[in-house]
Amino acid sequence: MSAVTFQQLALFVATLSVAILSPGPGIIAVSQSAFAMGRSRALPYGWGLAVGASSWCLAALLGLTLLFSALPWTFTLLTILGGLYLVWVALKMWRHAADPLPDPADSALGMNFRAGMMLNLSNPKPALFYSAVLLSIFPATLRLADKALIYATALSVEMAFYSALACLMALPLLRRRYYAAKFWIDRAAALAIGLLGLSLVLRL
């Protein structure tokens, strides 16, 4: 019999949903992707973001935070590398803000499933968030089936959120607004992601 109850899962979904709504590099990046390339290209990117984010839940379930506790330098190293990766992404966005709109069929744009996953894997702090949430909601001892259920729930919530965001931001009205102000929107998105990356490093 499962040690996880429906009420616990519902609380987990509610807590995760509120956390996802806080602005972060994933939200900024999938919005910019949907503006520039439309729903068909933004969805795979969003799904990559969802898999990357939920991977930290899996890592927490498998005990990654125990490694961070035993060897604090590993968390520091991952945080620095993640922050530098976000800064690199921001620099690319800033540099190409003045470029014409890309061809949606161009596979070399870099906004694909893998790129989305890497972006959300660049910040290890969600591992600590997931660990705190898991410990506060679920029993200390979980079977493999329970862990699989929790991870599937996290993945479903992340997938639903990023899919909805990609579809919403690709609406014709919003895309037309983006076309009219592409340069400044891209520069603002690059600045926001760059600041998030720097904050990872400077807050250590």
Per-residue pLDDT tens for 154-163? Answer: 999 999 999 9
The yes-or-no verdict on residue 110 having pLDDT over 70 is no
Mean pLDDT of 125-133: 82
- pLDDT value of position 57: 93
Mean model confidence pLDDT for the chain:
84
3-state class of 145 per DSSP? helix
C-alpha–C-alpha distance, residues 146 and 154, integer Å: 12
Q: Give me the residue spans of the domains in the chain.
A: 24-202
C-alpha–C-alpha distance, residues 141 and 161, integer Å: 29
Q: What is the pTM of this model?
A: 0.77
Report CA torsion sign: 196, 74, 155, 33: positive
**Residue 116: both structure tokens together:** 């989305």
Per-residue pLDDT tens for 57-66? Answer: 999 898 876 7
- pLDDT value of position 183: 85
- Asked if 110 contacts 33 with a C-beta cutoff of 8 angstroms, the reply is no
- pLDDT value of position 45: 93
